[in-house]
A and B are shown apart, each in its own frame.
Chain A
Amino acid sequence: MTNDKMLAFKELTNCNHWKNLKRYWKELSSISLEMNFTNKMEMFARLSNNSGSFDSKINNIIENIDKLELVNEEALIFIKNAILDRFNHIQQEHGIVTCYMMGGIAEERKALNELENQYILLDKMFKEEKINSKTYELTKEAIYNSFEEVIKIKSSYSNNQSQLNKSFIDYIVELNK
């Protein structure tokens, strides 16, 4: 492996320990695509050295993957999948507000759409008497709070309210009259 490639790999793994790096490389080369999700997460947790700083480095890492010409096709797909797995994990860990902050408008739309879908399902469950009124009211409140949180963060760095999903705002306003 050339120095350039090793440096790229070093950046990818966020690991400074040469010995570990070689071990990871060996492991990566023998990885099967059938590896299960937990194993992938385990491997990637080690690759990212449990630094917790991975979320801010996703773009850098994805760029660096292409420099890794020595990685075989399976390993390359594995790394990309592992990054996506990790990204999903971060989304779950920090919730929609964080993923909104990370992804900007697109994620904001996603967050709002998710809330809207949640409300539609909740309403359906209540009308079909599958959940009781207490659960319904509490969950409506939770949806509203999440909505407020998204809007608050949105307003804190952008005044472009037109980007928001107007129909959903009206929907929520109506809901809380």
Chain B
Amino acid sequence: MILDLIKKPFKKIQQHSMIYEVTLKCNLNCMYCYNVCKNKEAYPEGELDTDKSKQLLDKIIKETGCTNLTFTGGEPYLRKDIFDLYRHVKDKVFSINVISNGSVLNEDMIKESIDCGIKIFELPLLSSERDIHNSLVRGNSFDRVTESIAYIKSNAGRVVTVFVATKKNIHTWKETIEMALALGADGIMFNRFNPGGEGANHIEELLPSPEELHIALDIANKAVEDYKISIACSIAMPPCIIKTEDYPNLGFGYCAAGTERAYYTVDPIGNLRMCNHSHLILGNLFEKSFHKIARNKKAKEFMNAHPEFCTDCKIVKECQGGCKATAEVCYQNVYLEDPFLKLNKDIAIKK
């Protein structure tokens, strides 16, 4: 016991998954985008060349021990060397996934990605209605996305569709599930709109109400039973506002900052952040090891923070009071409630 306590501070941190933002450039300007480069506060720009990016990838894998590596952006397929980077890590991790907006993919790119070891493509399917999807991405990507999904499936790849639930599209959720199934999606993510980046400019316009979310979750819960598909809700929905126990068929995620299942995110130049929603730079992997950065003062403060409102709640440690990264981005204070909790705390029933 005593030996364990002595050993604990020296124990290496091992992560299951890491996220690598290979570029911050994007060809779209989605209303709901939480990307750090869209924040009001400036974020460091730039990209590494291919060799340096490979060095960074090696560091990420070696120092974190991650088995899953997710490439994201910006739009990762805007990088010309993306396949070279996939190939570089192909045999070094168990699975490589990619989060893309799907608008620049074609059949050759999809085939090559699968050859390079991409196990899951995560693409947005924001509505079964072309116009609604396109209005949210402020572009004409709907047909490209659905074609991309079809190409992935016809090349025996796996795809998870992502529905960002906003006021503008939530009424088409049921039909969007059906469309995802029709296209052969292997899983569906239901992410409530989480303001940040460009999304922080559209909170009132996009943030769904608890009532709207309850209706959508009822639909999702039933769809899992009817269609035997997996639906995960990875953006935190505090149980004091959304009764998650009413939806036993759905997977709910809470902030995992600092745990083995956290989604530490590395930006294009090697800066480490707590997750892809957070804009707080903890340190740079070319300057210090992951082990040191992930336990520094900034990281610990983020991990231990929760809104004052939640202090007397019995499940605060598990729930963490919603999305701290969003509170940090929208209000520059990790101890404040995120917008969803802030706007709805008058109806909260604490545990």
Could you list which residues of chain A lie within 8 angstroms of chain B, going by C-beta atoms? 34-39, 42, 45, 88, 92, 95, 110, 114, 117-118, 121-122, 124-125, 130-132, 134-135, 138-139, 141-143, 145-146
Contacts of B139 in A (CB 8 A): none
- Interface residue? B245 (CB, 8 A): yes
Contacts of B254 in A (CB 8 A): 36, 38
Contacts of A110 in B (CB 8 A): 228
Contacts of B182 in A (CB 8 A): 118, 121-122, 124-125, 131, 139
Contacts A37-B250, A37-B253; is A142 near B128 (CB within 8 Å)?
no
Contacts of B184 in A (CB 8 A): 118, 139, 142-143, 146
- Interface residue? B313 (CB, 8 A): no
Contacts A92-B186, A139-B183; is A114 near B251 (CB within 8 Å)?
no
State the 5 A-B residue pairs at the shortest beta-carbon distance, nearest first: A37-B251, A138-B150, A121-B182, A142-B153, A122-B182
- Interface residue? B242 (CB, 8 A): no
Q: List 15 A-B contacts (CB under 8 A).
A: A37-B232, A37-B252, A38-B254, A38-B256, A38-B261, A92-B187, A117-B227, A121-B179, A125-B128, A125-B182, A130-B175, A130-B179, A131-B179, A135-B183, A142-B184
Report the bound CA distance from A118 to B315 in whole Å: 40
In contact, A131 and B146 (Cβ under 8 angstroms)? yes
In contact, B128 and A36 (Cβ under 8 angstroms)? no
Contacts A95-B186, A130-B179; is A34 near B156 (CB within 8 Å)?
no
Contacts A95-B158, A131-B146; is A117 near B253 (CB within 8 Å)?
no
Contacts of A146 in B (CB 8 A): 184
How near does chain A come to B313, taking the closest CB pair, in angstroms? 13
- Can you add 17 more A-B contacts, CB < 8 Å, to A117-B181, A139-B154? A34-B239, A34-B245, A38-B252, A38-B261, A42-B260, A42-B261, A88-B230, A95-B186, A118-B181, A118-B184, A125-B178, A125-B179, A125-B182, A134-B150, A135-B143, A138-B147, A138-B154
- Interface residue? B201 (CB, 8 A): no
Contacts of B234 in A (CB 8 A): 38
Question: Which residue of chain B lies nearest to A35 when distances are taken between CB atoms in the complex?
Answer: B318
Could you list which residues of chain B lie within 8 angstroms of chain A, going by C-beta atoms? 16, 128-130, 143, 146-147, 149-151, 153-154, 156, 158, 175, 178-179, 181-184, 186-187, 227-228, 230, 232, 234, 239, 244-245, 250-254, 256, 259-261, 315, 318
Contacts of A114 in B (CB 8 A): 228
Contacts of A35 in B (CB 8 A): 318
Report the bound CA distance from A150 to B187 in whole Å: 20
How near does chain A come to B252, taking the closest CB pair, in angstroms? 5
How near does chain B come to A29, taking the closest CB pair, in angstroms? 17
Contacts of A141 in B (CB 8 A): 154
Contacts of A135 in B (CB 8 A): 143, 146-147, 149-150, 183
In contact, A121 and B153 (Cβ under 8 angstroms)? no
Report the bound CA distance from A121 to B252 in whole Å: 27
Contacts of B143 in A (CB 8 A): 131-132, 135
Report the bound CA distance from A37 to B181 in whole Å: 22
Question: Which residue of chain B lies nearest to A136 when distances are taken between CB atoms in the complex?
Answer: B150
How near does chain B come to A172, taking the closest CB pair, in angstroms? 15
Report the bound CA distance from A110 to B183 in whole Å: 18
How near does chain B come to A114, taking the closest CB pair, in angstroms? 7
How near does chain B come to A48, taking the closest CB pair, in angstroms? 14
How near does chain B come to A112, taking the closest CB pair, in angstroms? 13
In contact, A36 and B158 (Cβ under 8 angstroms)? no
Question: Which residue of chain B lies nearest to A52 when distances are taken between CB atoms in the complex?
Answer: B94
Contacts of A122 in B (CB 8 A): 182-183
Contacts of B130 in A (CB 8 A): 130
Report the bound CA distance from A9 to B245 in whole Å: 28
Question: Which residue of chain A lies nearest to B186 when distances are taken between CB atoms in the complex?
Answer: A92
How near does chain A come to B164, taking the closest CB pair, in angstroms? 19
Contacts of B256 in A (CB 8 A): 38
Contacts of A142 in B (CB 8 A): 150, 153-154, 184
Report the bound CA distance from A95 to B229 in whole Å: 12
Report the bound CA distance from A13 to B259 in whole Å: 21
Question: Which residue of chain B lies nearest to A46 when distances are taken between CB atoms in the complex?
Answer: B260
Contacts A130-B130, A132-B146; is A145 near B154 (CB within 8 Å)?
yes
Contacts of A39 in B (CB 8 A): 261, 318
In contact, B150 and A38 (Cβ under 8 angstroms)? no
